[in-house]
Amino acid sequence: MNAMNWLAVYPEILLLVMACVVALVDLFVTDPRRTPTYLLTLASLAAVGAMHLVYFNGGYTHYAMNRMVVTDPMGHLLAFFACLAVFVTLVYSRPYAESRDILKGELFSLSLLSLLGMCIMLSGNNFLVLYLGLEVMSLSLYALVALRRDHAGATEAAMKYFVLGAIASGFLLYGMSMMYGATGSLDLGKVFEAIGKGDVNRQVLVFGVVFIVSGLAFKFGAVPFHMWVPDVYQGAPTAATLLIASAPKIAAFGMTIRVLVEGLLGLAVDWQQMLVVLSVCSLVVGNLAAIAQTNLKRMLAYSTIAQMGFMMLGLVSGVVNGNTLSAANAYSSAMFYMITYVVTTLGTFGLIMLMSRQGFESEEINDFAGLNQRSPLLAAIMGIFMFSLAGIPPTVGFYAKLAVLQALISTNDNFHLGLAIFAVVLSLIGAFYYLRIVKVMYFDKAVDTHPIVAEGGARAVLSLNGAAVLVLGILPGGLMAMCAQAIVKALAT
């Protein structure tokens, strides 16, 4: 029993140890490119990712640490993609960070610590464990945003992120305390059982759900908890922006499934109504506000808000009139959407960093004018990412949107059908600002004629990233099956 306890948290232990080792080793590194700590960090991420993949293939579910931790296929699959996202982020970030004097040991150790928080969030089976994971992740991200201390925009973004993040954490903690007060337990399984018996004060439960959903919505950047997203995305160094925009979204999704589905499924009628409002508002505000943006990072921030709104539509179709028959289909489609969105976002911000150079941030839409004349390959890759975000075949974004819409329509509920039609209309509006980037790259005259100098590793990973978005769009079955398997196993326990 004790052996299984430790086995369940081996990846987290390895991450914690390596974060400390990287911080110590970096003290003795004199290479300005930080090659030893960079390679050590990538090796650590590869090892942890491989462990999660092996655990996922094992297919078992086990509760450890007095049922405070759960190790199951869903947590391991999401943790694997979180490791992959951080790995790719650091590969893209290295040349960018070096030219801005932020390529230091802190960048690597804080990235590993933020990933540690994400893994704890994905394996938590207790409100306190989930909250601790969230705080470990958040505090690391706050520090990463402020890493460029001589930059006023980054410092302001860090302050906004920290203050609003603290408020959101307070919301979440208050909601969890109400759940504890109503059910007498912090264990998600016992909370689920208490709600199922129906002998708890429903008003207190619903009040707690409101605060919990509000806290989770902040992490997704859903309207009306979205105020931090555009400012932080634009103000933070692009390396930190990419880290915030990718892996933490996967962790927030996993935590949402743990809390709302595994713990509070008996209150689905209440939290689904909240998610409907959040998703509709996010689709409207995100898509309409993005049209007016001239800064590409800010536009992608509003795009993220809209994308999270679309993902939430998958979560609202899991329980229909008290019936959970469509739950596996709904939650697996939302999981597939989240993973593929992160894969696309990695490439988008990676290309922005690749085009930046010393003293110049390539983040205005006009900076991409005539990119096809300067580098046809980079223009084609960016075009693939924009088509994917817009949901145009044969990219993976099209299949992801189709999966969520199919989950809504298959419930045979008129309200869900209306939501699907609404989402399609808003996606058509959203396609405008994505296709505008393609138009600027291919039909506008180049303003910047500086040669694009890209590190071989970053360019190779970017090409693989673009290929992955295309291949997953043409052959989505494998990843979709993995998501379905993970969700079915999670629901079964």
pLDDT tens, position by position, for the chain (493 residues)?
A: 566 778 888 899 999 999 999 999 988 888 888 889 999 999 999 999 999 999 998 888 888 888 899 998 999 999 999 999 999 999 998 888 888 888 888 889 999 999 999 999 999 999 999 999 999 999 999 999 888 887 788 888 889 899 999 999 999 999 999 999 888 888 988 888 888 887 788 888 888 999 999 999 998 989 888 888 999 998 888 889 999 999 999 999 999 999 999 888 888 888 999 999 999 999 999 999 999 888 899 999 999 999 999 999 999 988 887 777 788 889 999 999 999 999 999 999 999 888 886 666 778 888 888 888 888 888 999 999 999 999 898 899 999 999 999 999 988 888 999 999 999 999 999 899 999 999 999 988 877 766 677 677 888 899 999 999 999 999 998 999 999 999 988 888 7
pTM for the full predicted model: 0.94
DSSP string, 46-103: HHHHHHHHHHHHH---EEETTTTEEE-HHHHHHHHHHHHHHHHHHHHHHHHHHHTT--
In the chain, DSSP finds a helix count (H) and a strand count (E) of 21, 2
Tokens of 193: 């059982």
Confidence (pLDDT) at 137: 93
Read off the tokens for 185: 């337990």
- Assess contact for 119 and 133: CB atoms under 8 A: yes
Is the Cβ–Cβ distance between 317 and 409 less than 8 Å? no
